[in-house]
Amino acid sequence: MVLQGDNMAPTLTTQITRKMDQTIQPPLLMNAMVLEQSCSRLLHQRIPVPIPSPYQVLIKVAACAICRTDLHIIDGDLKQPKLPLVPGHQIVGEVISRGTLVTDIAVGQLVGVSWLGYTCGDCGYCRKGLENLCDHAQFTGYHLDGGYAEYAVADHRYCFPLPMEHGGSFGAPLLCAGLTGYRSYTMLPTEAKNIGIYGFGGAGHILIQVAINHGKSVCAFTRPGDHSAQEFARRYGAAWAGDSTAPAPFLLDAAIIFAPVGELVVKALQDTVKGGTIICGGIHMSDIPSLPYQLLWGERSIKSVANLTRKDGQALLALARELSFQTQTHPYPLHQANEALDHLRNGDINGVAVLIN
Q: Does 64 bind Zn ion (CB under 5 A)?
A: no
Q: Does 307 bind Zn ion (CB under 5 A)?
A: no
Question: x-or-dash pattern for Zn ion, window 211-250, by CB under 5 A?
Answer: ----------------------------------------
162 vs 179, beta carbon nearer Zn ion: 179
The correct pick among 32, 126, 197, 256 for binding Zn ion (CB under 5 A) is: 126
63 vs 176, beta carbon nearer Zn ion: 176
The correct pick among 34, 50, 69, 87 for binding Zn ion (CB under 5 A) is: 69
Q: Does 203 bind Zn ion (CB under 5 A)?
A: no
Nearest approach in angstroms of CB 248 to Zn ion is: 27
Q: Does 352 bind Zn ion (CB under 5 A)?
A: no
The correct pick among 12, 78, 123, 296 for binding Zn ion (CB under 5 A) is: 123
Q: Does 73 bind Zn ion (CB under 5 A)?
A: no
118 vs 325, beta carbon nearer Zn ion: 118
Distance CA 353, CA 341 (A): 8
Q: Does 353 bind Zn ion (CB under 5 A)?
A: no
Per CB under 5 A, contacts with Zn ion among 77-96 are none
Per CB under 5 A, contacts with Zn ion among 144-183 are 176
Distance CA 55, CA 34 (A): 24
Which one of the spans 65-73, 98-106, 139-147, 341-349 is the region binding Zn ion (CB under 5 A)?
65-73
Residues that bind Zn ion (CB under 5 A): 67, 69, 119-120, 123, 126, 134, 176
